[in-house]
Every structure is written in C-alpha cells, then in structure tokens.
A and B are shown apart, each in its own frame.
Chain A
Amino acid sequence: MTNVACSAPYTLTMELTHRCPLRCLYCSNPTELIRQENELSLDHWISIVDQAARLSVVQANLTGGEPLAYAGLTAIVRRLRERDIYSNLITSGIGLSDTVLQELIECGLESIQMSLQSANKKTAELIAGWNAQEQKLKALKLATQTKIPVALNVVLHKHNIGEVAELIELAESMNVKRLELASTQFYGFAMVNMEHLLPTREQMEEGLAVYDLKKKQLAGKMQLSWVIGDYLESSPKPCMGGWASQHIVVSADGTAYPCLAANAINTLSFPSTKEHSLKWIWEESPAFNAFRGYEWMVEPCRSCEFREKDFGGCRCQAFLLTGDARQADPVCKLSPHHHVVEEKIAAANAYPIGPLVHRQFS
C-alpha cells in the first residue's frame, strides 16, 4: 500500500501521566492505565517537543491523568515556549497552588483548561469518586486571577445535564471567560458506564433550551460552547478533521496515536516514540496511514456524497461498535449498524442497570 500524502500536524497532545486523584466515570484514559514506572522520562518528552517543532506543530495540550502530577511539567512548558509552541494545560486543578501556577506562567504557559464535574458537591463526588469540589473551586479562583485565559470544561451526562443554568451561574460568579460544555463521548471508561451517563433526548433538549437563552444573554461577556454528543445526532462527527490529518497524541508510555481514543483499535499496532522518530510515525507508520484518504472506505461511505465532509465519522467509534474500524460510524443514519446505537440509547433510557465503575489502578 502506498501512503497518502499528508500535510504537517498542527497539534501535539502529551498525555504525561495516567496518575490522577480523581476517578471519573467517563475518564478519557484507556481502561488499561499506564503505571508510573512505565512513564516517559523528562528527556524523552523534551526530545518529543523538539521533534514536534521540526514537524511544524504549533500547539500542545498537556494532559493526563493529572499533568500536575508529572514532575517535569514546568521544564516541558519551558521547552514548548522556546520552540514557539503554544501550550495549554488541561487539569483537574488538584495540586494547582499559587506557587505552581506562577512558575508555569513564568515558564511560558499560555492557557489553562480546568475541569469541573458538577455545580453540586454531592454530584461531583459521585462522578469523581472523591470529594474534591472545594479544592477545585479554590484552584479555579487562583487561575482566573492570572493574566492567562482559563476555560472551564464540564462533561455533561445524565447526572448533571439538568444543571446547565447552575453551571453557567457558577462560571459567571468565578469570573470565567470561557465555559465549555461537552457531552460525554463513549470511549474507555465512559463506554463501561454508558447506561449511567447517556441522557435522554428530552433531557438534552431541556438543557439546550437553557443554553441557547444564556448564550444570547452572555454574548460579549462569556464565551459559551457545547459539543453535543453524537449518539443523539443523526450525522457523524468528522473524525479529528480526518484520521491523522492534524493531531498527534503521545501517551504516557510513549506510544503515539492519531487521537486520544485510538488505542481502543486493537487491530492496529501503534508505533512508539521510543523506537521511531515522530517524523516517521507521522509520515510513514502503517497505523497513521491506515485511514488517510478514501481508499480504505467500505460502503456506504465509499460512494457517499458526505465522505469529504465527515470522513465516515469516528474510526474508534466504528471499531468499538462494529469490531471493524473501516465501517461507517454507526451514529450515522446511513450505517447498516445504526441499530447498535439505537439499542444503546434504549438501554440507557431503561437505566439503572449495572453498578457504577470508577477508574482505578488495580
């Protein structure tokens, strides 16, 4: 197979560690967590930053687990600044003291995205498996007092979708300039807990009505966004702008993926930055080339008029729901596997089913 020509990647997501004090029901980490002894050294991350800069990466997301738990974080931020790569810290806020915050900003950190599980302490504890609300709100307050922008990110699901108004009020009271609501995406732990998380269509529509109203009222004061979950939509999301077209993810153990959820596709062998250069991984590796272009597609995608718009949807979701990553994303109404999504929605509406499963290192 000849590789499809690719253009330079824009962003690098660095999953520095899987360690995290929170145990969220929808954690985006793989269900097989990487242990501390298998984490990359600081020198290796510095080399990855240098290689990414040579590949023309211009933005980096520092994430985890909780990235503040990785000891070399500030040194990585400094290197990103030296290479003129925009740095964004994605954090729970746990461990974000004033000293740490000032040090990160001095090293060149350019923005922060902080998570909140709920506007309500009890619900937050149910989701995160730990009472962290006070610490998190304290960290948020510290962060909003700095010169760099802070976005508050709330993953929405059955337990907090009724809180849209409260969440917006809380963000306003904390002087947050950007609030991102994001419907749960069903990969990893979220898939394990799907029945507990997927809201009904009615719940989502009620939430959206509040959101639309508030968004108008707050125009010019707060940026509000909501990424709606694709299970309740009729067309698939364009997978990362096309498989391996803009993003590289490097996991805590050095494995590289085109997206955070891709490790679920166990029919592909993902390359390691310990064995290959980032350039080879991006340009030559079979995994990154697997779904570039359109040759890999099967029907109905292959002859679909929307294929250049949505790229057949999400490859990881296609794999998780059909066992074959080349299939059309089953959220698409045109997919022959669409009934799988319908069945999942029906199962979630019949909630409660099984026990809640919090992530944890076994």
Chain B
Amino acid sequence: MTESLNLVKESILQMSPGVRLKDDETRQCKLLLMPESIVKLNHSASEVLELVDGNRSIEKIYAELAARYEDETLHKDLAEFLLDALTRGWIEIKCP
C-alpha cells in the first residue's frame, strides 16, 4: 500500500485542496471540513493533522509527536492514520 502511494519518510504532506481544519467552540473539538462532509476529529487525529502543513515531512511529524508522547505504538499508529487519511483524500503528498 505504501509503495502504491509512493510514501517515504521524507514525503511532505499537505491538506488536500478544499479540506481544512476548523476550531469548533460549540462542540469543543476540531472539525475537518471538506466537500460535502464534515468529520469530528478526536484529539490525536487533530494533533496529527495540525502538523500536516505542506512543510513538514512524515519523519518530522513523527519526531514532533514522539517528543510529546512516550508511546510504543506511536510509529505504527501514525503510519496507519496517515495512510487512512491519504486514502480518504483528506491529505496528499506534496510534489517536490
């Protein structure tokens, strides 16, 4: 799967066109707004997506999260989440 998406640790990620995060005060959470759908994000998903800014590589995103949490499954969880987000079209790989 990672191969078919050409995903490597140096890949820089960005939000897909028309997809953005919104702070929602009423609902006390972050929302992902995109064409014709809205996703209510949990805390960890919003933390990752805030780092997807068109500048950071996957390696950099991992390093920043690893500095915040000591979690053995972080690497695996992050890889799974990013793959899922790519497949759903929330985020994309920035062309160099």
Known contacts A8-B27, A219-B4, A223-B89: A59-B38 contact under CB 8 Å: yes
Name A110-132 residues within 8 Å CB distance of B: 110-111, 113
A98 close to B (CB within 8 Å): no
A148 close to B (CB within 8 Å): yes
Chain A min CB distance to B88 (Å):
8
Chain A min CB distance to B81 (Å):
17
Question: For chains A and B in complex, what number of residue pairs have CB atoms within 8 angstroms?
Answer: 52
Contact A8 B35 (CB under 8 A): no
**20 other contacts beyond A58-B33, A110-B33, A149-B16, with CB at 8 A cut-off?**
A8-B27, A56-B24, A56-B26, A56-B27, A58-B24, A58-B38, A59-B33, A86-B34, A88-B36, A110-B35, A111-B18, A111-B35, A113-B36, A147-B17, A149-B17, A177-B89, A178-B89, A219-B4, A220-B86, A223-B89
B94 close to A (CB within 8 Å): no
Minimal Cβ-Cβ distance residue in B for A54: B26
Chain B min CB distance to A146 (Å):
9
B22 close to A (CB within 8 Å): yes
Interface-centre pick from B18, B35, B89 (highest chain A CB count, 10 A): B35
A84 close to B (CB within 8 Å): yes
Residues of A within 8 A of B45 (CB): none
B contacts, CB < 8 Å to A:
4-5, 16-20, 22, 24, 26-27, 31, 33-36, 38, 86-87, 89
- Our pick among B5, B24, B36, B87 for the contact of A111 (Cβ within 8 Å) is B36
Distance between Cα atoms of A223 and B86 in the complex (Å): 11
Secondary structure of the B side of the interface?
loop
Contact A219 B38 (CB under 8 A): no
Contact B35 A178 (CB under 8 A): yes
Minimal Cβ-Cβ distance residue in B for A149: B18
Known contacts A11-B38, A56-B27: A86-B33 contact under CB 8 Å: yes
Residues of B within 8 A of A113 (CB): 35-36
Distance between Cα atoms of A110 and B18 in the complex (Å): 6
Name A1-56 residues within 8 Å CB distance of B: 8, 10-11, 56
CB 8 Å contact bits of A69-86 with B (1 = contact, 0 = none): 000000000000000101
Residues of B within 8 A of A178 (CB): 35, 89
What would be 15 A-B contacts, judged by CB atoms less than 8 Å apart? A11-B38, A56-B24, A58-B33, A59-B38, A61-B36, A84-B22, A88-B36, A110-B35, A113-B35, A148-B18, A149-B18, A149-B19, A178-B35, A220-B86, A223-B89
A151 close to B (CB within 8 Å): yes
